[in-house]
Amino acid sequence: MVKTRDKFLPMEALLVEDLPSGRDWRYEPKWDGFRCLAFKEEGKVALVSKSGKPLGRYFPEVVAMLQALKPENFILDGELLVGSAQEGYSFSDLQMRLHPAESRIRKLAAAIPASYVVFDILMTEKQEDLKTLPFGERRAQLERFLEKNGKGVKGLLLSEQVTTQATAQKWLSNRKWRVDGIVAKNVADIYVPEERIMRKYKVIRTADCVVGGFRYGTNSREVGSLLLGLYNDEGLLDHVGFTSSIPKTERAALTKKLEKLVGKPGFTGKAPGGPSRWSTERSTEWEPLKPEMVVEVSFDHVSDERFRHGTKLLRFRPDKSPKQCKMEQITP
């Protein structure tokens, strides 16, 4: 049983509007994958997510890869990705791994093996705790560790790192990498679990969306979230995400407006609440609306023509025609 994994969760990054600059800062891609701590103690490997949940059963090929490395002990911090730098990384393919059937997972692992992109080392093969070392020294140790133990190991990668913002900015337009942003790390910083020591920068964009439906709040008769839609090339309204950043003081009045617009089908293309491995009972509970209300929202990432995260409601757009809300707004 791996015990060290119970002692800490990964260090976090603080979202900033501008990246810090100076000779002591290093820049790395903010990968659009699953953050993962990899623990190996006495030859036994455990993969742990950002929230502390085990990931090993979903990525058996990564577990096997790390078990095959010569060192019996280490702790690495990195990102799980599916795809390749040449052909492109896919978050949707990565999500498919979270499947209850072991046979399905192993089939996917064989067809499209995952990669583990490493950007920090927290314990050496001699079980030395590196968290109190400056990041610059940890990075040097990580490079030596991978050069010695990971050379030629397919799927075990060292994360890119550069010293200039201009070079890092180019990653944001790399459609194959599909990075989520840029992470800035100071060479003098130690590793503090769960603290926002690093800095992360994301490109924030906006889009005008049709409100194609809404959900009531949990145990409430007031609106909890708005379901957002955009018209595709066939003229059908596709569900692309949601926003729940509605001020409490405005929810009662907004609920009355929404209830007056209730009418099927709401979304004429892709609809919310379809069956998936992440569906809950509430996923299918939503009220369809006539396509008349338009809102402007901000977002930071799109995957498979859907907002990767929840969006922020900026304002209502009564001046905007619903038919003007097209999918082209969220293309890369």
Q: Is 270 a catalytic residue?
A: no
Rounded Cα distance between 96 and 94, Å, is: 5
**pLDDT at res. 304:** 82
Structure token pair of residue 130: 């590196």
Rounded Cα distance between 176 and 92, Å, is: 13
Reply yes or no on whether the pLDDT at 6 is more than 60.
no
Rounded average pLDDT over 150-156: 94
Comparing CA positions, the residue from 317, 10, 20 lying closest to residue 182 is 20
Alpha helices of 11-51 — where are they, by DSSP H?
none
How distant, in Å, are the alpha carbons of 37, 54, 112, 141 from that of 123?
11, 19, 29, 10
- Better-predicted residue by pLDDT, 150 or 51: 150
Rounded Cα distance between 247 and 264, Å, is: 27
Rounded Cα distance between 295 and 291, Å, is: 11
Rounded average pLDDT over 7-32: 92
Global pTM value: 0.78
Comparing CA positions, the residue from 299, 294, 291 lying closest to residue 317 is 294
Summarize pLDDT for 113-127 with one digit per residue, the tens: 999 999 999 999 999
Exactly one of 3, 7, 30, 126 is catalytic; which is it?
Answer: 30
How distant, in Å, are the alpha carbons of 65, 72, 155, 257, 263 from that of 68?
5, 9, 13, 60, 58
In order of start, what are the domains of the chain with their CATH numbers? Answer: 6-201 (3.30.470.30), 205-330 (2.40.50.140)
Summarize pLDDT for 274-302 with one digit per residue, the tens: 544 334 444 568 999 999 999 999 998 88
